[in-house]
Amino acid sequence: MATERPESPAFVPRQLVDDLLWVVNTPSFVNGSLVALAPWLSPDVVDAEHLHAFMSARQSHRVGRHFEGVVEFWLRHVLGYEMTSCGLQIRDGNRTIGELDFVFRDEDGVLTHWEVASKFYLHHADREGSHYPGPNSTDDFERKIETLFRRQLELSRTAMPEVKARAAFVRGIVFYHRAVAAPAVLPDRMATDHVRGVWLRSSELALLDSWGSAVATIAEKPHWFAPVAQPDQLELPRLIDALDQHFETSQRARMVSIADGSSGEEVSRLCVVHDSWDR
């Protein structure tokens, strides 16, 4: 069985700080115009207890909601921006036509609209259509980016013409299969320095043996960003047993942090999907 997350009160604030640092300091998942820039964030300026209290009031199991909460804390309480609205629904008569994630005044007082997203995709070269589906294979990179830049960001132009700047703040990971070469050409707007991991199907877990003496931690939602701040890590045979048990009764993907057996530092991120994923 996988080791349960410790109940120590120090665990959650530490994990939340790690999540915040990952969200801010990780390279943008997208490139091109209308991409938000982020100044480097040092852990010394983060009030862990304040972050914990802030996120406790917005607690969600959903990775996307957790991401939005972390970004909101950073904008409000680290950068000190004046937040005008969060999750503002835009309506056309009785019909909701969209939502603006964040509208705020930046350090220069400029009214700014940000759309934010955290996304995880698996490179699947033999797939028809997009080669970058998500763990939920109805989602894919190209569709999400098209929606974000062409619809969500553009909504503020007509709904809030007083907005003077708009940008996308996107973080994510692409997982590449160990047996397939990475592509030479990436989709439009996918940053070349995006974070990379590895994916496997549940029937391919024997391939984990190639990591030798590595150890692992299974990350529970919503903490899919930073390596999990958990002291007890699983040796690979125990990890395989835990994953086998999981996929006997569930088709939900599992996120795993693979760490060096000596230092305990993360060396790779692994996404394991059920054998039936995207068949």
Q: Tens of pLDDT along 26-53?
A: 999 999 999 999 999 999 999 999 999 9
Range of the domain at 48: 11-273
Please state the rounded mean pLDDT for residues 42-70: 95
Q: Tally Cβ neighbours within 10 Å of residue 3.
A: 14
Query: 257 — alpha (psi -120 to 50), left (phi > 0) or beta?
Result: beta
Query: Whole-angstrom Cα distance, residue 228 to residue 217?
Result: 7
| Least confident window among 19-23, 55-59, 168-172 | 55-59
- Report which secondary-structure segment, H or E, holds 101: strand 95-105
- Tens digits of residue pLDDT in 19-28: 999 999 999 9
**CA dist list (Å): 170 to 27, 66, 80, 192:** 9, 14, 20, 14
Note whether residue 1 is domain-resident: no
pLDDT of residue 209: 86
pLDDT of residue 228: 81
pLDDT of residue 26: 97
Note whether residue 278 is domain-resident: no
Note whether residue 82 is domain-resident: yes
pLDDT of residue 229: 65
Which tokens is 142 given? 């190209």
Note whether residue 3 is domain-resident: no
Note whether residue 187 is domain-resident: yes
Note whether residue 74 is domain-resident: yes
Kindly tell me if the per-residue pLDDT of 4 is higher than 80: no
Please state the rounded mean pLDDT for residues 233-250: 95
Q: Which amino acid is located at 43 in the chain?
A: P
Check: pTM over 0.85? Answer yes or no. yes
Closest CA to 71 of 101, 98, 28: 101
Query: Whole-angstrom Cα distance, residue 225 to residue 117?
Result: 12
Note whether residue 180 is domain-resident: yes
- Report which secondary-structure segment, H or E, holds 88: strand 82-92
Note whether residue 245 is domain-resident: yes
Please tell me the total count of domains within the chain: 1
With beta carbons less than 8 A apart as the criterion, state whether 205 and 244 touch: yes
Query: Whole-angstrom Cα distance, residue 121 to residue 144?
Result: 11
Closest CA to 74 of 108, 50, 57, 56: 50
Kindly tell me if the per-residue pLDDT of 251 is higher than 70: yes
Which tokens is 68 given? 């939005």
Kindly tell me if the per-residue pLDDT of 233 is higher than 90: no
Please state the rounded mean pLDDT for residues 132-145: 96
